[in-house]
Amino acid sequence: MTLFDQLPSLAKFMDSSSDAESEMAPLEAMISKFLNPPNASFDETVERLNLLRRFIAKQSPFSAEPVDLVEWVSTEDVRANDYNPNSVAPPEMELLRLSIMADGYTQPIVTMPDENGRVVIDGFHRHRVGKEMPDVNARIHGYLPVVRIRQDRENRKDRIAATIRHNRARGKHSIDAMSDIVVELKRRSWSEERIGKELGMEPDEVLRLCQISGIAELFSDDEFSASWDAADGDDDFDGFNEGEVN
């Protein structure tokens, strides 16, 4: 019986009208047998675990929530994005390592799948600790707990916005990097209004980030100009006379 053939038999427990607790013993036995076939490697067990979790998530009333399906993915298949404006100093990275070693991974890494594996949307430093710290990596067997961002949010603009929202919710982001991201979103035809809405910013904050980049054309859709216009009647001004200059 193949890996996929075994899972549908679990569905009978979903439809059972009998007491759920009384069904747990045979269900547990079936799951244990499914997860631990003879001579299965560790990687094969993880693959089966992820498959079982995906099957259960399809039945879940919370399936629309990314956190409802946490999978374990090899660290080699998870990589950083190229736009994250969040940064952590070395001492804080060490604290994060200590936290994970003491308390375990309490938050999965938010990712988006692509042809090369998974790209980090949020959890860049948790991803780094699991990948780069030998003690953490050994304990999690070279795997990282990940969730997948909603599939309707997987284009680059939406991914960037999701990363910023996660960072801003924690109050951590680099101003210069944020400015670069606002610039990129503007270049990808997002209006300042949409940028503010998607990133949780006030209009003046979006404008300041545009100005930091020094690219005036990025905020050409503003309803005002930073230039100064002379008031009526100032056309006749022809300079100060010598007595007015100290």
- Segments making up each domain of the chain, as ranges: 24-59, 64-173, 174-221
What is the percentage of the chain residues whose pLDDT exceeds 70?
A: 69
Amino acid letter, 155 = N
Tell me which of 201 and 98 has the higher pLDDT.
98
User: Per the structure block, which two tokens stand in for 142?
Assistant: 């070279």
Tell me the sheet residues that pair with 143.
74
How is domain 64-173 classified at the architecture level of CATH?
Alpha-Beta Complex (3.90)
Asked if 211 and 219 count as a contact pair (C-beta separation under 8 A), the reply is yes
Residue found by looking up tokens 């736009």 in the block:
83
Give the tens place of pLDDT for each residue, 217-228.
444 454 444 444
**pLDDT of 240 above 50:** no
What's residue 246's pLDDT? Answer: 42
Asked if 51 and 34 count as a contact pair (C-beta separation under 8 A), the reply is no
Give the tens place of pLDDT for each residue, 93-146.
888 899 999 999 999 999 988 888 999 988 888 999 999 999 999 999 999 999
